[in-house]
Amino acid sequence: MRALEEKIVKEGKIYEGDILKVDCFLNHRIDVEFLAEMGKEFARLYKDCNVNKILTIEASGIGVACVAALQFDPVVPVVFAKKSKSSNIGDNFYHSTVQSYTHGKTYDVIVSKDYLGENDKVLILDDFLAKGSALEALLDICAQSGATVVGAGSVIEKAYQGGGDLIRAKGVRVESLAKIKSMDTEKGIIFE
């Protein structure tokens, strides 16, 4: 999505340690009007897939998912996986584990069994896709629930980290609105 690539170049900031900060429009301040444009693109990409639920993960995924859900016809509900601090969650939850490379730790995510099941055709959305650990966890939760995953979408894929292609190799459709081929503080960002 060209407009997104231009926005990343114009408004994003690259820092040492492979960090791309886009908190000016995506994950702290949210440019909701632009989010709606991105949502339309997700809805276009998956329009023939009978999506009836969008699954995401707190916190930054929620805005992306809710605004995208409004662009589907009919509008679909969103379910967001919650980060769980407790291992004692009862038996009414699917759960899986995410490895956060940014923060150097793992955490559990949970989804209530009430809100995901075999009748669901799920699109998984998130803001970032890097090594793919969050997406793997959401796919795992969908598998546990018997839901059909029609595909996944990310706003920004750090393609050079390989997570997206790893998941595509398993046969999952993954669409990213901007795919970064390489990125550093000197040469800037090169998109695929």
Q: Which is nearer to a second copy, 67 or 183 (CB)?
A: 67
| Total Cβ atoms within 10 A of residue 189 | 17
Kindly tell me the burial class for residue 26, based on how many C-beta atoms sit within 10 Å of its own C-beta (0-12, 13-18, 19 or more). buried
With beta carbons less than 8 A apart as the criterion, state whether 158 and 191 touch: no
Tokens 């393609």, residue?
159
Residues 6+ apart with CB under 8 A from 62: 56, 78, 80
Q: Which is nearer to a second copy, 110 or 135 (CB)?
A: 110
Q: Which one of the spans 2-10, 79-87, 130-138, 167-175 is the region binding a second copy (CB under 8 A)?
A: 79-87
Per CB under 8 A, does 89 bind a second copy?
A: no
* Runs of H (alpha helix) within 56-132: 60-69
Q: What does the alpha-carbon distance between residue 93 and residue 82 come to, in Å, rounded to a whole number?
A: 10
Q: What minimum distance in Å lies between the beta carbon of 126 and a second copy?
A: 13
Per CB under 8 A, does 3 bind a second copy?
A: no
Per CB under 8 A, does 33 bind a second copy?
A: yes
Per CB under 8 A, does 11 bind a second copy?
A: no
Q: Which is nearer to a second copy, 2 or 85 (CB)?
A: 85
Which residues of the chain form contacts with a second copy (CB under 8 A)?
23-24, 28-33, 35-36, 58-59, 62-63, 65-67, 69-70, 74-80, 82, 111-112, 114-115
